[in-house]
Structure 1
Amino acid sequence: MPSPKKKMGFFSSMTSSLSMFSNAMHRSVNGFIGYENLEVVNPEGGKDDAEEEAHKGRWKQEERDSYWRMMQKYIGSDVTSMVTLPVIIFEPMTMLQKMAELMEYSHLLNQADECEDPYMQLVYSASWAISVYYAFQRTWKPFNPILGETYEMVNHNGMTFISEQVSHHPPMSAGHCENEHFTYDVTSKLKTKFLGNSVDVYPVGRTRVTLKRSGVVLDLVPPPTKVHNLIFGRTWVDSPGEMIMTNLTTGDKAVLYFQPCGWFGAGRYEVDGYVYDANEEPKILMTGKWNKSMSYQPCDVEGEPLPGTEMKEAWHLADTPKNDKYQYTYFAHKINSFDTAPKKLLASDSRLRPDRYALEMGDSSKSGAEKSSLEERQRAEKRNRETKGDNFTPRWFDLTEDVATTPWGDMEIYQYNGKYNEHRAAIDSSDIVELEDVKTTEFNPWQYSDLSGE
């Protein structure tokens, strides 16, 4: 079959050959700061002097020096194994909430479910998977969830969404979402590698979407991500590589290639590829930019557009706030808002985390203190659990015997157990009237109410 990487057909005139030889313009900063094995990558691919580029970004000189001294011993390590990180690099959102951002353009899955054409099902579904990358380009780090922490959303396009931190070592999250058109299930375990001035992120996980009308099951394998210029230079994100969306029912698949950012910014944001049938013949070409829109057009076996057809848009970015501090979309603000919290919000919900809320209110000092307190409580719970010989059991997800194989390693799978639907239905059908301000609810993901006996 035509490869999105090599034989691009229609896309051959769109991709600079330079971008195939270089991910970006790398300029060593060793000469003027005296540090080794550090690079600064200009996101625009320009010819700026390395020293000038290195001084751009969120860090002051003294902060860069201090942070580098603290972090250099972790080069080559998984970020999740590091000591407590300063809140200055965080955004007021947790990984569980970030999982929910994939639902901003869930109408695309609705369209896939309503569509009779199996290839167009993949066009809409793959466009849905690409749509979240605009949000993923944010350079702030979300908070790691506390074991037992949850996030729930029940008032967006008729969906019910629940996610839960199901493991602390290794950090793993599970999520489930559904409406009348689809169900979405994910088990996520990020694998990272800290490289000094950058970090590689490998999405070890399994994502499945079931379209209810046809029963079609879709499997998603996203590309890895690289965060550039963590300490020196302007921090930015790139996700070069293949995204594969496979119809496990028919064998059809969409293979889309995220172009690497090349010299002088060539290829940045571009996504090109095809929807293939089970015999690996291209049926529909897809092209666009993950920060703007995706379009499609029927093609021949060589990947060239069919005569008499035209390019049509499948997805485009919605309006976004101007000059937002954390580059949040309107949907991201909705995810964080207590105004959208359901009745009788779970006390384990991410919205209630005191460190997250303090940062959202602009009090980074309080946020740091609250974060340290939560992490110490989590360590105390672990010691108590080990002393008692107890195991942690997630509330809304069950560990299965399934093991998923990914390009970055194997992982166990958690399955939604349906109990949250029962919980929410019972509350929604009750006569409970909330009079208290939900913000006053104490964050409580804890397994033990009292640790004094540890």
Structure 2
Amino acid sequence: MAQNQGGGGGFFSSLASSFSNFKNQVNGLLGYEGLEVINPEGGTEDAETEAQRGRWKQEDRDSYWKMMQKYVGADITSMVTLPVLIFEPMTMLQKMAELMEYSHLLELADECEDPYMRLVYTASWFISVYYALQRTWKPFNPILGETYEMVNHCGITFIAEQVSHHPPMSAAHAENEHFVYDITSKVKTKFLGNSLDVYPLGRTRLKLKKDGVILELVPPPTKVNNLIFGRTWVDSPGEMVLTNLTTGDKVVLYFQPCGWFGAGRYEVDGYVYNASEEPKILMTGKWNKSMSYQPCDLEGEPLPGTELKEVWRVAEAPANDKFQYTHFAHKVNSFDTAPKKLLASDSRLRPDRYALEKGDLSKAGSEKIWRRNKELRRGPERQKVRNSVRDGLK
């Protein structure tokens, strides 16, 4: 993807009629990058039309940009208060639970005797969540001690908690008769003006119970494009590596970066390797649609007499959903998946989240600000107490 250095160049010349004032502001920034002239849907709209699309009003965008200029190049994980109009009525803890939608793939992996097909199933399961991650609405940040629990889905018990306020960090555990899943979610961000790079720093591990194999995931980074100007969209260019720590086998999949006018967007390609790093199975597909596999030779070419077989396909989603939710996302957000004795700290009970779900942006915004200010006052003290308790349990 092409990027303009110093804030000048073709992007601003193509948008001069609409953003002349904005251009003068940006030209003064040193080392600015991140404004892509691109149509990620692969359409034929001109750059000016594409750049003006989005959910922000013009005056809101200009005002917010003036406020955000000072953060260019910084990690803004927990230092910026964002307007509620760009949020979805779900917290990050709930969004972590969306990975459970296609948990039947882990049942197949657990019962599979072929160690390489086991990796095909588990890698496809990890890829499946990217369809949900492409939503451009921002989830609410959990406060310290906030929790989320989900039951009544494939025998899974899922629980997540916000375990650190600054830096923000979440931990989650999921389990049923086939697997145990644990994740510590921590990210580092880099704000580039109209885009945001997100680097995962946490740890993700999966245990399949039948054979006791343990797998560890290293996901690719994520880039959120057109945060303020244009239609917001998400890309995850880079490598995803899933390693069987028990045997040394692994999957290496490459997420293609989105090129000009959407070229290569969503595409994922790679191989399952044995412990000697010899390719055994090729995998290919699109992370927003489906994944397929085919046995291959040592050169990575499909074996004669074999065919490409589909292993996962995204489920049909509701049409014209306001927040681009899947059917499963609505389940995650509902009390149908809540345990009978729901903790008072559960994300579903957040007043700001609930108000946004009901369409009351004014109340959602005021509740969000109140909760943030309260957390800023109490966060360090609460974190100190929690650390002392944990130290005492060691």
Superposed pair shares fold, TM > 0.5: yes
Say if 1:79 and 1:194, in contact at 8 Å, map to a contact too. Answer: yes
Instruction: Name whichever structure is richer in helix by fraction.
Output: 2
| Number of the residue aligned with 1:437 | none
Mapped partners of 2:102, 2:82: distance in 1? 32
Deviation of the 1:46 alpha carbon: 5.7
Mapped partners of 1:399, 1:236: distance in 2? 42
| Number of the residue aligned with 2:12 | 29
SS of structure 2 residue aligned to 1:175? strand
- Residue 341 of structure 1 aligns with an amino acid whose one-letter code is A
Mapped partners of 1:292, 1:399: distance in 2? 46
Mapped partners of 1:168, 1:85: distance in 2? 17
RMSD: 2.2
| Number of the residue aligned with 1:392 | 386
Q: How many residues align?
A: 375
User: Unaligned regions of 5+ residues in structure 1, if any?
Assistant: 1-21, 401-416, 418-454
Mapped partners of 1:115, 1:27: distance in 2? 53
1:371-450 to structure 2, matched below 5 A, reads 371-382=368-379, 384-385=381-382, 390-393=384-387
Residue among 307, 310, 335 paired with 1:313: 310
Mapped partners of 1:327, 1:24: distance in 2? 28
Deviation readout 1:115-156 (Å, 9 max, x if unpaired): 000000000000001001000001111111010000000111
Deviation of the 1:323 alpha carbon: 0.8
Note closer, same or farther for the CA distance 1:42–1:178 as it changes in structure 2 (3 Å cut). Answer: same
Deviation readout 1:405-440 (Å, 9 max, x if unpaired): xxxxxxxxxxxx9xxxxxxxxxxxxxxxxxxxxxxx
Mapped partners of 1:162, 1:264: distance in 2? 40
Matched, 1:70 2:67: yes
Say if 2:208 and 2:214, in contact at 8 Å, map to a contact too. Answer: yes
Say if 1:27 and 1:50, in contact at 8 Å, map to a contact too. Answer: no
Mapped partners of 1:282, 1:118: distance in 2? 13
Mapped partners of 2:280, 2:253: distance in 1? 13
Matched, 1:235 2:232: yes
Note closer, same or farther for the CA distance 1:321–1:304 as it changes in structure 2 (3 Å cut). Answer: same
Say if 1:75 and 1:194, in contact at 8 Å, map to a contact too. Answer: yes
Matched, 1:346 2:334: no
| Number of the residue aligned with 1:126 | 123
| Number of the residue aligned with 1:43 | 40
Overall identity of the aligned pairs, in %: 74
Say if 1:24 and 1:45, in contact at 8 Å, map to a contact too. Answer: no
Say if 2:78 and 2:166, in contact at 8 Å, map to a contact too. Answer: no
- Residue 85 of structure 2 aligns with an amino acid whose one-letter code is I
Range 114-123 or range 52-61, more displaced: 52-61
User: Unaligned regions of 5+ residues in structure 2, if any?
Assistant: none
Deviation of the 1:73 alpha carbon: 1.2
Say if 1:224 and 1:239, in contact at 8 Å, map to a contact too. Answer: yes
Deviation readout 1:153-193 (Å, 9 max, x if unpaired): 01110000000000011100000000000000000111111
Mapped partners of 1:258, 1:122: distance in 2? 17
| Number of the residue aligned with 1:104 | 101
Mapped partners of 1:394, 1:222: distance in 2? 32
Deviation of the 1:83 alpha carbon: 3.0
Note closer, same or farther for the CA distance 1:337–1:293 as it changes in structure 2 (3 Å cut). Answer: same
Mapped partners of 1:348, 1:197: distance in 2? 34
Mapped partners of 2:137, 2:357: distance in 1? 13
| Number of the residue aligned with 2:214 | 217
| Number of the residue aligned with 2:139 | 142
Deviation of the 1:215 alpha carbon: 0.4
SS of structure 2 residue aligned to 1:79? coil
Mapped partners of 1:46, 1:337: distance in 2? 35
| Number of the residue aligned with 1:429 | none
What is the TM-score of this pair, normalised by structure 1? Answer: 0.79
1:239-258 to structure 2, matched below 5 A, reads 239-258=236-255
Residue among 111, 115, 118 paired with 1:114: 111
